[in-house]
Structure 1
Amino acid sequence: MKAKTTNLKTLAEFKDEFYGKTGTEKRDKLEKGYEQFKLGALIHEARIEKGLTQEELAHKSGTTKSYISRIENNVKEVRFSTLQKIVELGLGGKLELAIKL
């Protein structure tokens, strides 16, 4: 039996083909959007894991429920100082920052 060939691509190959190579304007815009999505998803997952509602997290963090909702839904960019409050005061965690070159 002959092996079936597919047109599967890796995520990197797909992004290269449809959004251009890393460093192009279209690709950078895609990557920036992904980072915002990832941050919102991380906050959401951590909140759920802690058993908190958006309102409870907001209260502990000194912000509003709508602000937490906008971050989780990638509508709002969050300032670093506010993110630190959400993670440390609201979730009882530790925010770590890394720069990769």
Structure 2
Amino acid sequence: MKAKKSKVTTLDQFKDKHFGKRGTASREQLEADYETFKLGALLHEARIEKGLTQEELAEKVGTTKSYISKIENDVKEVRLSTLQKIVELGLGGRIQLSIKL
């Protein structure tokens, strides 16, 4: 019997096809936008896991519900120092950064 050729496309193959290879302007923009989106989603998940509303988190950190919402929904970029304050004071957590080359 002949083996079936897989029609599965990896995420990297999809991005290569639709946005170009790494290093091209459109691909780098996609990667940058994804990292921003991922940050908002991570913050949202952590807040939910702690059982906090956006308003409760904002109060703990000394900001507004609107600001927390904008970060979670990727409408507003957040400075690392502000993110650290949200994670540490608001969520009782710690930020871990890594750089991949």
Q: TM-score with structure 1 length normalisation?
A: 0.92
Q: Spell out, residue by residue over 1:17-37, the C-alpha distance to the aligned partner (whole angstroms, 9 max, x if none).
A: 110011110000000110011
Find the counterpart in structure 2 of residue 62 from structure 1.
Answer: 62
Find the counterpart in structure 2 of residue 99 from structure 1.
Answer: 99
Aligned length: 101
Structure 2 Cα separation of the partners of residues 43 and 27 of structure 1 = 25
Q: How does 1:21-32 map to 2 (within 5 A)?
A: 21-32=21-32
Which structure 2 residue ranges, 5 or more long, are not aligned? none
AA at the equivalent of 1:10: T
Deviation at 1:62, TM superposition (A): 1.6
Runs of 4+, deviation exceeding 4 Å: 1-6
Structure 2 Cα separation of the partners of residues 8 and 91 of structure 1 = 39
Find the counterpart in structure 2 of residue 72 from structure 1.
Answer: 72
Which structure 1 residue ranges, 5 or more long, are not aligned? none
Q: TM-score with structure 2 length normalisation?
A: 0.92
3-state SS, counterpart of residue 8 of structure 2: coil
Deviation at 1:8, TM superposition (A): 2.8
Structure 2 Cα separation of the partners of residues 43 and 31 of structure 1 = 19
Find the counterpart in structure 2 of residue 16 from structure 1.
Answer: 16
Identity %: 72
Cα RMSD over matched residues? 1.5
Structure 1 Cα separation of the partners of residues 44 and 75 of structure 2 = 13
AA at the equivalent of 2:59: H
AA at the equivalent of 2:58: A
